[in-house]
Amino acid sequence: MRSKDRISYFYDGDVGSVYFGPNHPMKPHRLCMTHHLVLSYELHKKMEIYRPHKAYPVELAQFHSADYVEFLHRIAPDTQHLFANELARYNLGEDCPVFENLFEFCQIYAGGTIDAARRLNNQLCDIAINWAGGLHHAKKCEASGFCYINDLVLGILELLKYHARVLYIDIDVHHGDGVEEAFYFTDRVMTVSFHKYGDLFFPGTGDVKDVGEREGKFYAINVPLKDGIDDTSFNRLFKTIISKVVETYLPGVIVLQCGADSLARDRLGCFNLSIDGHAECVRFVKKFNLPLLVTGGGGYTKENVARCWTVETGVLLDTELPNEIPDNEYIKYFAPEYSLKIPGGQIENLNSKSYLSTIKMQVLENLRCIQHAPSVQMQEVPPDFYIPDFDEDEQNPDERMDQHTQDKHIQRDDEYYEGDNDNDHNMDAP
């Protein structure tokens, strides 16, 4: 056991000020709310806080095609009417709109995950957190499901420079299709996704039979679930599968995507998880004592997203948080209870015991097809394109926070609605 985990936390206030549009369920403003809740519980005093660098186009092109990156760099709301063909080719439109500062937004959230991976690689921390990251649907040449740049793939590519095997775990209600697709043919990354599947639910992929191909066969694991799964069923299945995965695959590092749309009462989700049930997954993964990169993901009931990721920050810090939310800039969002935890939901659980048992047996059977953890012929490590200048002696947490609290915290009038008026019209994607 490590005596005390060193935790690096990445945040830039600019991510919370971008706006997808009035009828769009993705509200980056939830990141400001999360950060202020973290501050109000004084968790920042137990972590190293960093503003991520803005990822360079050349870094983004480590996974994405250069022409797609260049297009994202160039497109703007006032010129998009000139690029109808390109918008269609790169899948920008209703789900993935063009908005002010789109490219900078991508640079910041991707930069956070890349920086997190590099700090882990250089053993400067044990756990790295980037709640702005986790945009798991973006593909090599196109946007998808509110995601433009796949920061997770970029972070995993960094980790592969130093680790023979990377385990990716995804508890978003939507299938982690972009990450799975990127590593579908390799045994260097095992992807494990727990998600709603069926009923034409976005993105429509992630059947238990999809296991990877060629060298990657059996290194993609999908756990397809039905509406209404609760804490007990989810946690039992999660712990059984992840224990076996870690025992079989022997990863050197874990990437955990904590999409909060798997919580009860999410605007686009359909599960019954409480915050305690969601956070139990984080607690369980932490116990393996492996280097751990934690990101956000989906989550469309903003106040519950902020609650969830704050609780999970506490879990990663081994800190139990009082249920009464301290005063903070966004306190009105948490009315009328002003409590941190939310209970599970009341949707009928369509996951029968026999269904879950069948899924579990299929996944464990697939894992048995892996003889042993794959070994890798180690080669010279490629250079980092950009390495932040970290001087551990010069940077004490108080000074870092002084500079950090000057980040922009923008509260938009059009982001706060009373009660159910915040529902916007439903969209198809996470």
Binding site residues for substrate, as ranges?
95, 145, 300
Angle (deg, nearest 10), helices 353-368 and 231-249: 10
Give the integer Cα–Cα distance in Å for 273 and 386: 39
Give the integer Cα–Cα distance in Å for 398 and 258: 28
Query: How many C-beta neighbours within 10 Å does residue 378 have?
Result: 8
What distances in angstroms separate CA 303 from CA 27, 146, 172, 229, 343, one per listed residue? 11, 19, 17, 21, 14
Q: In the sheet that 253-257 helps form, which strands lie side by side, from edge to edge?
A: 48-50, 7-10, 127-130, 292-295, 253-257, 166-170, 189-196, 220-225
What is the rounded end-to-end Cα distance, in angstroms, of the chain?
37
Nearest by Cα to 55 from 102, 100, 108: 108
Going by the annotation, the residues of the binding site for a divalent metal cation are 172, 174, 261
Angle (deg, nearest 10), helices 302-316 and 29-40: 40
What distances in angstroms separate CA 334 from CA 26, 149, 260, one per listed residue? 19, 31, 16
Q: 223: part of which helix (H) or strand (E)?
A: strand 220-225
Going by the annotation, the residues of the binding site are 95, 145, 172, 174, 261, 300
Q: Which sign does the torsion angle of CA 213, 216, 218, 221 carry?
A: negative
What one-letter code names the amino acid at 282?
V
Query: How many C-beta neighbours within 10 Å does residue 43 have?
Result: 20
Give the integer Cα–Cα distance in Å for 51 and 102: 18
In eight-state DSSP terms, residue 97 is -
What distances in angstroms separate CA 354 from CA 233, 288, 358, 360, 361, one per listed residue? 12, 29, 6, 10, 10
The catalytic residues are 137
User: Phi, psi (5° rounding) for residue 284?
Assistant: -65, -45
